[in-house]
Amino acid sequence: MNILVTGGAGFIGSHLCERLVASGHRVVCLDNFHSFYDPQIKRTNLAGIIDHPDFRLVEGDVRDINDLDKCFSEHEIGLIVHLAAMAGVRPSILEPELYAEVNIMGTHKVLLACQQHGVKRLVSASSSSVYGSKQGGAFRENDDLGKPESPYAETKRAGEVLAQLWQRELGISVVCLRFFTVYGPRQRPDLAIHKFASLLYGGKPLPVFGDGSTCRDYTYIDDTIDGVMGAVEYVQTHSGYAVFNLGEARPVQLLDMIYELEAASGRQAALQWHPLQPGDVPYTCADLTRSRAELNYDPKWTFREGLRSFIRWFEDTRQT
Ligand code: NAD
């Protein structure tokens, strides 16, 4: 099948494009190489696939319907995986309008493209941040959502609402996936594990926000991609609208993450303590009952193994 992946040059998107092509699909990737982080990193993300006959790159913006139309000009697209977004919680506080434009209007335009080009299946990236600030316990997809803690969280929630609305309107099949802090090779440089590794190897102290007890349900990229592939199958066999968590159900405290990073790298970290930052949530943990049952999702990576895999990639690719 021909699949359009928006944001396909990014961290999650590039891994997904590779997996889809390896599974026999033809992939059209739409990405605008936004400078939120170095666009060259995104070109490197695609280096292993750019010349593959079943892969095509369209450089363009999801907010621009003409750019979206280009993706449909050569191939009949049967399914869209919409990952393009302005990601990152803290930067969204500084640029809320940009986040709203890309994440809300961008999703709107993708749904419009579904209507105009008769695409009946959509998988769309949401985030654990839609759950807001919760303490303890695992987050279930049908929980009441708390107060969004950042413009980013707000836009991700709006994306889900739009997708649900259009699903009914168009009678298509839509899955929204709530990713829980994804890490591994090619992780975005702004995310904590990658940022900390850069500081650690640069001999600089690591900023710790709060008392180190905040917890994240870190998800290894291969597990995330398994889950997205499950969703790609699911939208082909189910109608309606569904939301799934993709996490590991294994929250890791910030200080334990630093300890594992030290162990994996063989380096000792100096810590610099700061107050909690606006937008941060204290805790995330996915309940996986639904995604295990419906997507056959079965995450396999321990945090220790995943971190070691990340560090191997980091050491291999780091510019000294
Ligand atoms: P990323 O920034 O690496 O990838 C996003 C890609 O989208 C980038 O390549 C970027 O250039 C592209 N993009 C941005 N604006 C665009 C636009 N207007 N038009 C076309 N392309 C555009 O981020 P990622 O970590 O791979 O995240 C992918 C998706 O998963 C996002 O929707 C993000 O909100 C969501 N998500 C990620 C995480 C995580 O831990 N990485 C957690 C929760 C949700």
Reduced 3-state DSSP string for 13-71? HHHHHHHHHHCCCEEEEEECCCCCCCHHHHHHHCCCCCCCCCEEEEECCCCCHHHHHHH
Over residues 15-36, the pLDDT tens digits come to 999 999 999 999 999 999 999 9
Give the confidence band of 271 by pLDDT, cuts at 50, 70, 90.
Answer: very high
In degrees, rounded to 5, the angle at the alpha carbon of residue 158 between the alpha carbons of residues 292 and 33 is 85
pLDDT at 74: 79
Average pLDDT over all residues of the chain: 96
Over residues 208-226, the pLDDT tens digits come to 999 999 999 999 999 999 9
Phi and psi (nearest 5°) for 265?
Answer: -95, -15
Give, as one character, the DSSP assignment of residue 268.
P
Q: Indicate whether 108 pLDDT > 80.
A: yes
In 3D space, the residue among 31, 24, 29, 38 whose CA is nearest the CA of residue 194 turns out to be 38
Choose the residue to mutate in 18, 32, 69 for probing ligand 1, maximizing ligand atoms within 8 Å of C-beta: 32
Give the confidence band of 319 by pLDDT, cuts at 50, 70, 90.
Answer: confident
143-148 average pLDDT score: 88
Handedness of CA 207, 89, 42, 53 (dihedral sign): positive
Give the confidence band of 265 by pLDDT, cuts at 50, 70, 90.
Answer: very high
Dist. CA 1–CA 121, nearest whole Å: 12
Dist. CA 313–CA 320, nearest whole Å: 14
In 3D space, the residue among 147, 127, 131, 148 whose CA is nearest the CA of residue 139 turns out to be 131
Instruction: Kindly state the tokens that stand for 119.
Output: 């695409």
pLDDT at 320: 65
Choose the residue to mutate in 28, 34, 92, 181 for probing ligand 1, maximizing ligand atoms within 8 Å of C-beta: 34
140-161 average pLDDT score: 94
Dist. CA 177–CA 230, nearest whole Å: 11
State the CB neighbour count (10 A cutoff) for residue 60: 19
Atom of ligand 1 nearest to the CA of 219: 40
pLDDT at 278: 85
In this structure, the residues whose C-beta lies within 6 A of any atom of ligand 1 are 6-7, 9-13, 30-34, 36, 42, 61-63, 83-87, 102, 106, 125, 127, 179, 181-182, 188
Helix (H, G, I), strand (E, B) or coil at 12: helix
121-139 average pLDDT score: 93
pLDDT at 280: 85
pLDDT at 219: 98
Active site residues: 152
pLDDT at 135: 77
Instruction: Tell me the sheet residues that pair with 243.
Output: 176
| Residue showing tokens 């291999």 | 316
- Give residue 312 CA to ligand 1 midpoint distance, Å: 23
Dist. CA 33–CA 44, nearest whole Å: 11
Over residues 152-187, the pLDDT tens digits come to 999 999 999 999 999 999 999 999 999 999 999 999
